[in-house]
């Protein structure tokens, strides 16, 4: 792409010699880049996102770098702490289209066990690995002051476990947190068929695990406008101790990819396990006939949600 493409979109183009007090702008191009390049201009882009992440950690000490990722397929897993870092896909569509930025590693999660603090991650298609069903499409060990938006999380194997996982799945009572985040406008499901949908769409902590749950709090996080296809549960808050003050789950559309009479999540659309004080407002949820659409929240915290169980619609916590 020409330099004009970036300038017309307000993307700063710098000379390699110009110092930046706020951090650096890097470019990544899977098709034309090389990790031996400087990465500081589009025509000298890196080839891998992980190399750009390594460079920003080493050189800027968290001053606030931006990584622009051009369309292509990135067969890599992203690791390491993200601090004051923006990773932005420059594609115009999600899925397998020619303008998509697809992260699809042969093994390992597209984002794996990352500690995120003050970051922006947007406009990617992240496909869970096809070699195992135990890894999610995106996994944050901790997530704080982070915006995760406009991404597509796609199942890559049969019986995939989770789309977006926050906190670890182990039984260690660590102090993982999910604070002051915005998780919005994401598509979580499958484009490959019913056997590739996730069991859980967005999962915070470990399911039905008490003192050993890895997530200790989920404060002031907004989960909104996501479209989730999940076989078991759409959104799950497994926060030990019930500390979810200020968290709002709103305007999400949740169902299962499976058709038939029991179309919808088999267990629950939105569930809290001790994180009872989060707000659940204006969501659209479909569950199987024997399931509960919304459960585990405090009285007065479930407001005006539309639910459907086996095609029978009703309001959960309606204001009228």
Residue 56 sits in the same domain as residue 161: no
**Structural domain for 55, as ranges:** 1-103
pLDDT confidence of residue 78: 95
Q: What is the pLDDT of residues 157-177, one digit of tens each?
A: 877 889 999 987 665 656 688
310 secondary structure, DSSP code: T
Higher pLDDT, 60 or 26: 26
pLDDT at 8: 53
Mean pLDDT of 209-222: 75
Query: Which one of 55, 75, 103 terminates a domain?
Result: 103
- State yes or no: pLDDT of 201 exceeds 70: yes
Shared domain check, 190 and 72: no
Across 262-283, average pLDDT: 87
User: Of 103, 126, 159, which one is at a domain's C-terminal end?
Assistant: 103
SS3 assignment, position 12:
coil
Of 72, 84, 71, the closest CA to residue 116 belongs to 84
Question: What pLDDT is recorded for position 17?
Answer: 46
pLDDT bucket at 15, cuts 50 / 70 / 90: very low
Same domain, 243 and 140: yes
pLDDT band at 22 (very low <50, low <70, confident <90, very high): low
194 φ, ψ (degrees, to nearest 5): -65, -25
Residues 51 and 137 in one domain: no
Domain identity same for 67 and 157: no
Instruction: Say whether pLDDT at 18 is over 80.
Output: no
198 shares a domain with 92: no
pLDDT at 52: 95
Q: Distance between CA atoms of 134 and 280, rounded to whole angstroms?
A: 28
Residues 184 and 144 in one domain: yes
pLDDT of residue 312: 79
pLDDT value at residue 45: 97
- This prediction has a pTM of 0.90
Quick: pLDDT tens for 63-111: 788 999 999 999 999 998 898 899 999 987 666 677 899 999 988 899 9
**Residue 93: Cβ-neighbour burial (10 angstroms; 0-12, 13-18, 19+):** middle
Q: What pLDDT sits at residue 288?
A: 87
Residues 95 and 111 both lie in one domain:
no
Residue 67 and residue 160 in one domain: no
Q: How many domains does the chain have?
A: 2
Q: State mean pLDDT over 134-161.
A: 90
- Predicted pLDDT at 95: 64
Distance set, CA 43 to CA 18, 99, 271, 274, 319 (Å)? 17, 18, 48, 51, 56
pLDDT of residue 186 exceeding 60, the answer is yes
The Cα angle at residue 239 between residues 234 and 245, in degrees rounded to 5: 95
Task: Show Cβ contacts of residue 142 under 8 Å, excluding neighbours closer than 6 positions.
Answer: 115, 116, 117, 166, 167, 176, 177, 178
Check whether residue 167 and residue 301 sit in a common domain: yes
- Domain boundary (71, 103, 135) is at 103
Residues 178 and 309 in one domain: yes
Examine the domain organization and report whether 182 and 158 are in the same domain: yes
Q: Which one, of 121, 137, 138, lies nearest residue 129 by Cα? A: 137
């Amino acid at each position: 792409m020409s330099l004009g493409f970036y300038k017309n979109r307000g993307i700063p183009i710098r000379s390699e010699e110009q110092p930046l007090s706020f951090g650096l702008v890097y470019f990544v191009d899977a098709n034309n880049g090389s990790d031996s390049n400087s990465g500081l201009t589009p025509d000298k882009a890196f080839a891998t996102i992980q190399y750009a992440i390594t460079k920003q950690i080493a050189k800027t000490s968290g001053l606030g770098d931006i990584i622009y990722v051009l369309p292509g397929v990135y067969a890599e897993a992203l690791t390491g702490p993200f601090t004051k870092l923006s990773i932005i896909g420059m594609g115009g569509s999600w899925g397998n289209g020619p303008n998509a930025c697809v992260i699809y590693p042969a093994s390992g999660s597209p984002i794996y066990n990352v500690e995120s603090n003050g970051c922006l991650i947007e406009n990617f298609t992240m496909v869970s690995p096809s070699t195992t069903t135990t890894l999610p499409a995106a996994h944050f060990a901790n997530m704080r002051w982070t915006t995760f938006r406009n991404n597509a999380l796609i199942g890559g194997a049969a019986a995939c476990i989770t789309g977006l996982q926050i906190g670890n799945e182990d039984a260690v009572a660590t102090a993982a947190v999910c604070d002051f985040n915005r998780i919005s406008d994401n598509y979580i499901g499958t484009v490959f068929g019913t056997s590739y949908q996730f069991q859980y769409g967005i999962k915070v902590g470990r399911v039905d695990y008490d003192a050993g749950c890895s997530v200790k709090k989920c404060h002031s996080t907004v989960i909104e406008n996501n479209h989730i296809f999940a076989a078991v549960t759409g959104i799950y808050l497994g926060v030990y101790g019930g500390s979810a003050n200020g968290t709002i789950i709103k305007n999400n559309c949740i169902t299962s990819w499976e058709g038939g009479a029991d179309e919808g999540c088999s267990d629950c659309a939105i569930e809290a396990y001790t994180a009872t004080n989060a707000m659940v407002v204006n969501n659209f949820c479909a569950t199987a006939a024997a399931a509960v659409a919304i459960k585990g929240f405090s009285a007065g915290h479930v407001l005006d949600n539309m639910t459907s169980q086996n095609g029978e619609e009703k309001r959960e916590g309606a204001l009228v």
